Structure 1
């Protein structure tokens, strides 16, 4: 069966057609929000019983009981024994690299600077009290997401870190996810997925604790639930379906560009993936190579990627020049960006908006998704214009700290008092007036 790969020529596209290429599958969440509202309400009302019902309905976990939502400790040990040793070794390797990266990212606990003589100001960093890490299932199992979400939380020293993940059909928890949790240091894993998981951690159930924040990628249903419950819980990065751009100049190998284009495209039919190039030979070489790569993939993954690359949420974008290609990338603000060129560093300065930038043909997104160290939980749907990759900064918060000495107080008080009076705040002004001077003199 012929699988057409869409080709879009930027020079001939109307403004409307070009804008259509920038739209992601979850751009309009209104429909999803309506569908998840009753799920959220059921979990709020019925707690674990609702989680068990939805586990059977959405995950086929007919054996899941309300009193078995939390994964028992023995399953962690069984998972370490049942998962293939080479997979455990790979997870351990990933955990180590991700931990090293995020340890390097940690800010110093506190800093202060003397702004003027006797006036000190700075910041103190402290961890969030509790966080839920969401590890999706559905189109596959993702222990890598457990690594990417849980490890930085542990590095940030969050006191309570839990994982929520959909149950397997037999009601148990994905063993590789439990291996990742154990190696990251997480002991609480709850069997609930999708919108019901968001509701569970937002409200708390008989078993699942209420937490302050939830991180991790998921379906539009999960994203919709996060938006609806943002008044109850910090939803973190609203990371939706996978998206990527492969940016290739005329020096790139179109076959390698095609190979990397299929990485994110195989996640699902709701992914968004483009090869953007100013070179027609590169575009044609990539287009010709894709069917051969499909022959090496399962039918499900071929179907997913063929749907994506058939347009309008994927395909090949041919630009009139490389600057136009970079303009398209910046307008798109992709979750993942890979630059294919003999000298990729030469082009990086032209990129303003991308959550992740991978340089060269030896840095495929596969490495970044699993083992390199930088976090693979990234903002989608153009949010990379203002947001960043998940990091230790998502698990800590800053407190401003200030200290004024006898030397610094008089000048600061004089200026602050003038501004307080101008703005009409009598209490503010009194607090730095002669009244304070008299009170402080009495205490000395």
Structure 2
């Protein structure tokens, strides 16, 4: 039916997209916040320049301006006493949840970690392989603007420690009291990182790109952030490796008629409550699922914390969220692959049966007992995922992001001669006389000395 409409909701209607008759999906339907960073680039550039020239002074000024820090005595680095106090402030059940999550994430990334070195005989007497080493320094970015995220601390810090990064640090915005979130401090210490600096946003990215009097310069930065963070990473990509492109949260709930639409709506809310710049869609070919989802959303929102409910409403009634009705499951899968979501939850009768048809998704969660919430916290795979369509070419944050490879080769005296003849022919064809001389009879003569 083409006249599906949404019930009246507080302030607005849930956005409804009927794509059943379309051959191609409208570009606006696939767009995300970070697709147009124009409004953020100039502002980020001026912030970056201030940090580059003023260092700590700029970070402290921006903490008051952007993070609304009211204390005049804020220090930029968290102290050991800050960590100790955090363990007294965080409830025991939350500490235990952090411990369980860290254990799962650690075990997953330890299994993912490659062997330090391997070599294989490629030709007789010629061996080649890889040597894998940790990056010397990595900054883990933990956002805070719309909440506190010890889960992001876990996802960024644990693989850094597993990989063996020599100097892993955390940067995170301070609260109004000038302090780091207590849960973040607990998660960091339990993960094995005790170097935390109070700077977020574009200024935090600039701090680790250039280094300041207090904040060390790092070779790489990982972790999700706002469009300001994404803009700063792009502007500073020649100064610091920006890592996995992880911007505002996004998700697709893919459902068929085997699921209750109210359940699909429950999971649709998960990523939409992150903030007004998130993106979230329920994609289904079932009109009944659409009806149930739309009818249930106001009830779900009424039971939520008002601020998070407002974020979710903004997303689901705006241009980057809502419900997409397709003509069949095939078109729904096509939409998923075109969108390339950060999180994909598959609520269909046989989720494993369609997994092979999913080409583009940062994370795929199968079945009604695998909600995004579990993926964000407890399952082990990394929840820092490519956003903005980057899942077409990029992968989730992993232990590999904290490591780099060097190719290693070794040729024996017996293996050298036949390879040298072929290399000599290659070099002459490509016009490199110096290359050719290095594998000419002259080498054999010099090796006699």
Structure 1 residue ranges, 4+ long, deviating more than 3 angstroms after superposition: 12-15
What corresponds to 1:204 in structure 2? 211
Counterpart position of 1:305: 312
1:375 maps to 382
| Alpha-carbon offset, residue 14 of structure 1 | 7.4
Distance (whole Å) between structure 1 residues aligned to residue 34 and residue 408 of structure 2: 41
Give the direction of change, closer, same or farther, for the CA distance of 1:14–1:32 in structure 2 (3 Å limit).
farther
What do the CA deviations read for 1:354-399 (whole angstroms, capped 9, x no partner)?
Answer: 0000000000000111111100101100000000000001000110
The match for 1:7 among 9, 16, 23 is 16
| Cα pair 2:251 2:271 within 8 Å, conserved | yes
Q: TM-score, structure 2 length as denominator?
A: 0.96
Match of 1:28 in 2: 36
Mapped partners of 1:151, 1:38: distance in 2: 33
- Distance in structure 2 (CA, Å) of the matches to 1:52 and 1:134: 18
For the 8 Å contact 1:10–1:18, the answer to whether it is kept is: no
Match of 1:37 in 2: 45
Q: Does 1:294 align with 2:298?
A: no
Q: Secondary structure at the match of 1:338?
A: strand
CA distance in 1, matches of 2:218, 2:256: 46
> Alignment partner of 1:120: what SS?
strand
For structure 1, which runs of at least 5 residues remain unmatched after alignment? none
Shift of 1:62: 2.5
**Displacement after TM superposition at 1:65 (Å):** 4.3
Counterpart of 2:60 in structure 1 is: 52
**Contact 1:150/1:184, CA 8 A, preserved across alignment:** yes
Aligned position for 1:224: 231
Shift of residue 13 of structure 1? 4.6
Partner of 1:329: 336
Tell me by how many angstroms 1:257 deviates: 0.7
What are the within-5 Å matches in structure 2 for residues 220-299 of structure 1? 220-299=227-306
Alignment pair present for 1:177 and 2:184: yes
Deviation at 1:3, TM superposition (A): 3.9
TM-score if structure 1 supplies the norm length?
Answer: 0.97
8 Å contact from structure 1 (residues 344, 360) kept in 2: yes
Q: Take 2:426 and 2:167, find their aligned partners in 1: how far apart are those partners? A: 43
| Structure 2 CA distance for aligned equivalents of residues 240 and 109 of structure 1 | 31
Q: Cα RMSD over matched residues?
A: 1.2
Shift in Å, 1:12 = 3.6
Q: Does the 8 Å contact 1:71/1:188 carry over to 2?
A: yes
* CA offset digits 1:70-113 (Å, max 9, x no partner): 11111111111211111111111111110000000000111111
Structure 2, unpaired ranges of 5+: 1-9
Q: How many residues align?
A: 440
Query: Could you tell me how far apart the structure 1 residues matched to 2:155 and 2:291 are?
Result: 36
Alpha-carbon distance between aligned partners in 1 of 2:436 and 2:62, rounded to the nearest angstrom: 58
